Amino acid sequence: MSTPRDFHNSFLDTAKRDDILNYYVNRAPDDAHDSVEDMKQAIEWEDTPGCYLFSGLRGAGKTTELQRLLADLKVKNIPAFYCSADSFLDLNEPAITQTELIFTALAGLSHAVKKAYGDDFLTETIWERTKKAMDSKVELKPKLKAAGAEVEFSLEENVTFKQELIKFANSSNKFFQEAIKFANDVAASVKQYTNQDKVVLVVDSLERLSAPNGQENVLFESLKDLFFNSPARLSFENITVIYTVPPYIHAVLPSIDQFYSGSFSLPNFKVMQTPKKEKPIEKNPEGIAKMVCVVEKRFPEWENYISKPVIEEFAWLCGGNVRRMFALIRHTTKKAVLGKVNFPVNRVNSTPVKQAILEETKNVQWLNAQDRKWLIHCREHSGNLAQYINDLASDLPPIIRLFDHSLVLNYQNGSIWYQVPPIMNDYFDAQS
């Protein structure tokens, strides 16, 4: 028999899933509006390996969608590998260079290929090859083992090696030449072993690049260096590669798509109808029902703890953002236990629910005047953000902060549009 603790822990970000597709719920109404189907078709139809961008808000379910893409490609017998950039980089460091990103992609490829085919499959890793090319005497330090961490080394732990690497890349083209050669060698080995003519690499978690110390303009320059200034370097002639990017990148670099084979955006679950001018936003029952299905997939006995009307309200309040809905579920469960409230929690206005909403919104006090201005703008004008940016120096920081904290969410039916999650309504009421 399950316990409130079991229910609570099923909605943690760290909850282990043996087969992620057993818990998958497709948010798209059909394949024509499914960004993963769109990406898969592009990969299957491409004549030469492409380089793609994939954007999605934190907590929107992006990694789950990418795992689905990898699983679908493997069904087609296409070798597909996954690299989580945060295994190699400190994503809270706003000034990451393109050299570090390329090295990270190939380090992730090395690790994933060895994991799939055995430690002896590659004669050397990118670490070994680059160290030899640089004639480096630095002794690499193993990555500090954390939950779920499997990689041997990371640039985060090997600061001296990282500095040598950046200096080496800035002094000549040799690093980039070695990177191309390494990627080609790995691709050739994988193709020969699998008897397939395509290889795919997903480089995930880059949407989490952030500037926690208020260095948003440094982050913007870093994003330009990573994805805009020399985009051809991110491509590999024998490997199709997909890079995740922050969801606001098209707002601050609106012409970025022209440099890539394709650009795809993962919207949140569409729990609200497309806004109509000067009319209140209406709920979308179909999108809300899909989020209830997400809960059921995670914990089949969910109605023993929280009723359907409350879960539907959470789906609406979070604006279709899965991570925030999970947080509301966890907060409610804990508050009900602490307050000795009987399960299931079945009223939207019950004390545990009110306390959960307060818990999830208490940190919005950090919003400054510019943040509030853009928050109001996104609530009242749901269209393209780029056309409203007047000065990057002043407008960029609040936009990045609001996206990073999922206080502005993206949706799509035809064109992309933006809206503030309804959980912020009380904040607006308090401000007016």
CA distance 347 to 155: 49
DSSP secondary structure, 43-74, as one string = HHH-SS--EEEEEE-TTSSHHHHHHHHHHHHH
Q: Say if residue 140 is exposed, middle or buried (CB neighbours under 10 Å; 0-12, 13-18, 19+).
A: middle
pLDDT of residue 216: 86
Most confident of 56-60, 155-159, 301-305: 301-305
pLDDT higher at 207 or 9 = 9
Give tens-digit pLDDT for 356-392: 999 999 877 778 888 888 888 888 877 677 778 888 7
Residue 77 has pLDDT above 50, yes or no: yes
What was the pLDDT predicted at 217? 86
CA-closest candidate to residue 398, choices 217, 201, 260: 217
Query: What's the pLDDT score for residue 203?
Result: 97
Average pLDDT over residues 20-30: 78
pLDDT confidence band for 290 (50 / 70 / 90): very high
Query: Where, residue-wise, is CATH 3.40.50 in the chain?
Result: 28-266
Q: CATH second-level architecture of 28-266?
A: 3-Layer(aba) Sandwich (3.40)
Rounded to the nearest integer, the mean pLDDT of the chain is: 89
H or E element at residue 115: helix 98-117
Chain segment 278-289, per-residue pLDDT in tens: 778 889 999 999
Shortest CA distance to 28 belongs to which of 369, 266, 243?
266
Residue 143 C-beta-side C-alpha neighbours within 13 Å: 18
Q: What is the largest CA-CA distance in the chain?
A: 67
pLDDT tens digits, 305-324: 999 999 999 999 999 999 99
Over residues 193-229, the pLDDT tens digits come to 999 999 999 999 998 888 877 788 888 889 988 999 8
Average pLDDT over residues 91-102: 93
Residues 253, 227 contacting (CB under 8 angstroms): yes
Residue written as token pair 């997909």: 242
Q: Give me the torsion for CA of 109, 111, 114, 117, rounded to 10°.
A: -60
